[in-house]
Amino acid sequence: MEEFSQRIYYSNKALKESVSLAQKKQAELEYLSSSSRYIANDDGVTPLVTATIDLTMNFCDASIGACFFCKSGKISTSPAPIIMFKDGSNAALADYKSWSFPSHHTELLNSWSIQSVADERAGVSGWLLSSNFHAEPSEIGWLVFFLESEFIDEEKLFILDTTIEHLRLGVARQVETHYRESSESVLEKMRQDLASTQKQLAV
């Protein structure tokens, strides 16, 4: 009887582990699929970055997600940072100026920067994840997430590596489209001005 009970116990344990693993893989696939769909849209850089922050916060269970735009290694106020909070987050997290992410870097990171955060006075502890992308030719965008957890899931970091690569490609495409449309608009204005001038000269 005891042996039979042990078999049932280990069988149930193995089943729960299998279900948990399957659910985890499903969540990873859904996250990557959703982020890829946003990258394919032509809504602009800000909606793309905002959607990526929102999806990643849910995927990593982050308390806060943000994007800061830096010029010459310093956080810029124009465009303004995009900051999103999870319901019930510690208000002390809003003081992003105290966050220690490598904003001085002007080159793209090969992997996510991971830094421990511990502020006993504010009651904050956890991990700060950050990585970057080219927002404009002279501007670097930094994605930053705060996780209030004891450990970091390394498998999720590999998924996030894919996400930042997708974001870089998506932003580059949006920026290229914007400049192309701007150039076409300028050329069209020049054509109209030229046609107007020719008409005036013909009078």
Q: Which of 18-22, 150-154, 164-168, 192-196 has the highest mean pLDDT?
A: 164-168
Residue 19 located in a structural domain: yes
Q: Which amino acid is at 45?
A: V
Which residues neighbour 48 within 8 Å (Cβ) at sequence distance 6 or greater?
A: 38, 39, 41, 167, 170, 171, 174
Is 11 a domain residue?
A: yes
- Segment 135-146 shows an average pLDDT of 89
pLDDT per residue as tens digits for the range 1-22: 566 566 555 555 554 555 555 6
Q: Is residue 109 part of a domain?
A: yes
What does the pLDDT read at residue 187?
Answer: 45
Residue 188 located in a structural domain: yes
* Domain-embedded: residue 110: yes
- Tens of pLDDT, residues 95-139: 555 567 888 888 899 999 998 887 666 667 789 999 999 988 789
pLDDT confidence of 81, banded at 50, 70, 90? confident
The answer to whether position 133 is within a domain reads: yes
pLDDT at 120 (0 to 100): 66
pTM, full prediction: 0.74
**Average pLDDT along the chain:** 76
Per the structure, how many domains does the chain have?
Answer: 1
Contacts of 116 (CB under 8 A, 6+ apart): 127, 128
**If you search the block for the tokens 């002390």, which residue do you land on?**
92
- pLDDT surpassing 50 at residue 183: no
Residue 200 burial by Cβ neighbours in a 10 Å radius (0-12, 13-18, 19+): exposed
According to DSSP H, which parts of 108-153 are helical? none
What is the domain extent for residue 96?
Answer: 2-197
- pLDDT, mean of residues 144-153: 88
* Distance from C-alpha of 115 to C-alpha of 101, rounded to nearest angstrom: 8
Q: 163: Cβ–Cβ under 8 A, 6 or more apart, which residues? A: 31, 32, 35, 52, 56
pLDDT at 93: 56
The residue-averaged pLDDT of 55-65 equals 91
The amino acid at 12: N
Contact in structure between 84 and 55 (CB atoms under 8 Å): no
Residue 73 lies in a domain: yes
Total count of residues recorded for the chain: 203
pLDDT (average), residues 30-59: 84
- In this prediction, residue 193 carries a pLDDT of 47
- Indicate if the pLDDT at residue 61 is higher than 70: yes
Instruction: Give the CATH number for residue 144.
Output: 3.30.450.40
CB atoms within 10 A of CB 129: 23
Share of the chain above pLDDT 70, in %: 65
Residue 60 in this model has a pLDDT that exceeds 70: yes
Q: Is-contact 64 140, C-beta < 8 A?
A: no
